Amino acid sequence: MAEFSNDKKTIFSGVQPSGNLTIGNYLGAIKNFAEFQDEYNCLYCVVDEHAITVRQNPAELRRRTYETLALYIATGLDPEKNILYVQSHVPCHAELGWILNCYTMFGELSRMTQFKDKSAKNANNINAGLFTYPTLMAADILLYQTDIVPVGVDQKQHLELTRDIAERFNSVYGETFVVPEPYIPKHGAKIASLAEPTKKMSKSDENENAVVRILDSKDAIIRKFKRAVTDSDTCVKYADGKDGINNLLTIYSSFTGKTIEEAEREFEGKGYGDFKLAVGEACADALAPVRAEFDRLIADKAYLEAVMKSNSEQAYRIARKTLSKVQRKLGFTQIR
């Protein structure tokens, strides 16, 4: 079981089990998580409550919850060093989420870019949960007195709101919440679509050629990279107006550990075909051990459920302390 120390800072992050995770999820967040587990107190959550802001097939949601937990472990997160749990197994998330709704302004939520984007995509289901999603995200983070939150560029606005909510509550009731700071990796923080490189790679994209998933086969990965949109130039160079090439260079750099400049020199004088094949192979080779470990873990449902149970119990004990503090400050009566 993970040992939490007062001498270490705390990191929290959550991933939705609402689709097969992409290399954008991997490079922008999950790949970095294993680097933190010895230096920080780490909590990584499968945020199934966030997933239901759009309609889910119940059987698929259950399956993907197991798969997301298995992927956490397959990418190097040790359940003995990190708390890996499912959001709905810790009721404190929803309880604090309601409380923080009362300290979040309507105007703040209406300005959230993701609400506007998701409303446009789900015009027949613009529900209250979709609107208050960032407040539940704030509760996820603040419950654990989180110091650092690894975020992609698209989630930075939500973290800024979390900070505002924490500061507002603290100003009324005294120091209650740690005000978290973002961690955004220098490279790979935002991986673009292979088909539309001006847009973020999204696991919900209907165009399969636009998305490379962590669990795709090697053949599928290479095929998708071969079809990646580039430009009419022939020079592998990171530059304005070369969104497709810039995206592929970022991906190649992230998987190989080479700098953008080293990659440019490597492919100097070579065509886009050679470059795209090399990016595909680098991606597939890097993900091969992850896929193999995932296959082993997903076949052992009893082990995954044991991790869910023990880790959620530990998460609950930590979360309950914060929630009890909040409830006392608000004037709620408590029965022991």
Closest CA to 170 of 100, 119, 111, 106: 100
* pLDDT tens figures, 109-157: 988 877 777 777 777 878 888 889 999 999 999 999 999 998 766 678 8
* pLDDT tens figures, 154-206: 678 889 999 999 999 999 999 999 999 998 766 555 799 999 999 989 887 88
> Residue 321 in contact with residue 259, Cβ under 8 Å?
no
- Counting every residue written for the chain, the total comes to 336
* pLDDT tens figures, 22-69: 998 888 778 878 888 889 999 999 999 999 988 899 999 999 999 999
What pLDDT was estimated at residue 127? 86
Mean pLDDT of the chain: 91
Could you give the CA distance from residue 41 to residue 18 in angstroms, rounded to a whole number? Answer: 26
Type of residue at 313: E
Could you give the CA distance from residue 24 to residue 212 in angstroms, rounded to a whole number? Answer: 8
What pLDDT was estimated at residue 77? 94
Q: What band does 1 get if pLDDT is binned at 50, 70 and 90? A: low
Q: Which domains does the chain have, with CATH numbers?
A: 10-184+300-330 (3.40.50.620), 208-294 (1.10.240.10)
What pLDDT was estimated at residue 187? 53
Burial class (CB in 10 A: 0-12, 13-18, 19+), 317: exposed
Q: Which residues are catalytic?
A: 118, 200, 203
Q: Is pTM, for the whole model, over 0.85?
A: yes
